[in-house]
A and B are shown apart, each in its own frame.
Chain A
Amino acid sequence: GDSVTQMEGPVTLSEEAFLTINCTYTATGYPSLFWYVQYPGEGLQLLLKATKADDKGSNKGFEATYRKETTSFHLEKGSVQVSDSAVYFCALNTGNQFYFGTGTSLTVIP
């Protein structure tokens, strides 16, 4: 069945460091791919999305490219800030359902 596998955390980085969180997927058909962010005690918020191969989603300095050949959608940011500390979820959508990864906790220290 459809599924998402993402890098396990927790991840701790210094401010201004480069961030990569790996995400790979298994899906039949042509899924749409998403990154969501969750701050403590809150629901998930959409960070970015891509709906077809080679699309690049971007928002707030974060980027991810839909790679069909490697079935991946890795999240990157060139320079993280303390305010980026949160849990990040990779997700895919095919048909009626969404499938989420287990989440990667990121802590950015000053």
Chain B
Amino acid sequence: DGGITQSPKYLFRKEGQNVTLSCEQNLNHDAMYWYRQDPGQGLRLIYYSQIVNDFQKGDIAEGYSVSREKKESFPLTVTSAQKNPTAFYLCASSKGEVGNIQYFGAGTRLSVL
């Protein structure tokens, strides 16, 4: 079945540590996105990528980094510079054309130890 897989489902970060969240899709989508969701709030865009080897900052990119070396994969690293990383992180993908549906993974919940 086609879809988006995020792993792990739960992740814990120690002080000063970088952690990487995985996102893989087998939908053959060009565009991929990372969002952060805090309790009672909407989705805030961290980074997005329209094509392999290219990505753009979203509204809250500080303290995060990404790579897009393969069409199927768009990992997100939460660096030690992100001082408040506790949140629910959602990865999404779409064909990249206007009007196309955005498909979401099941999310990764990141907490700080």
Contacts and interface: CB of A to CB of B under 8 A. Distances in A.
Interface of A: 32, 34, 36, 41-46, 49, 51, 89, 91, 93-98, 100-103
B102 A98 contact: yes
Contacts, number: 58
Contact of A42 (B31, B100, B106): B106
Contact of A102 (B42, B90, B99): B42
A41 B43 contact: no
B105 interface: yes
Chain B residues touching A, range: 20 to 34
Interface in B98-113: 98-107, 109
A42 B48 contact: no
B113 to A, nearest CB: 20
Contact of A96 (B41, B42, B96): B96
A42 B33 contact: no
B13 to A, nearest CB: 19
B45 A41 contact: no
Contacts of A41: 107, 109
B104 A97 contact: no
B101 A97 contact: no
Interface string B39-52: 01111010010100
A96 B102 contact: no
A43 B43 contact: no
Given A32-B98, A46-B101, A93-B99, A101 B107 contact: no
Contacts of A102: 40-42
A16 B29 CA distance: 39
13 contacts: A32-B98, A34-B102, A41-B109, A43-B90, A43-B92, A45-B104, A46-B102, A89-B42, A91-B102, A93-B100, A98-B92, A98-B94, A100-B43
Given A41-B107, A42-B106, A100 B101 contact: no
Interface in B31-81: 31, 33, 40-43, 45, 48, 50, 56
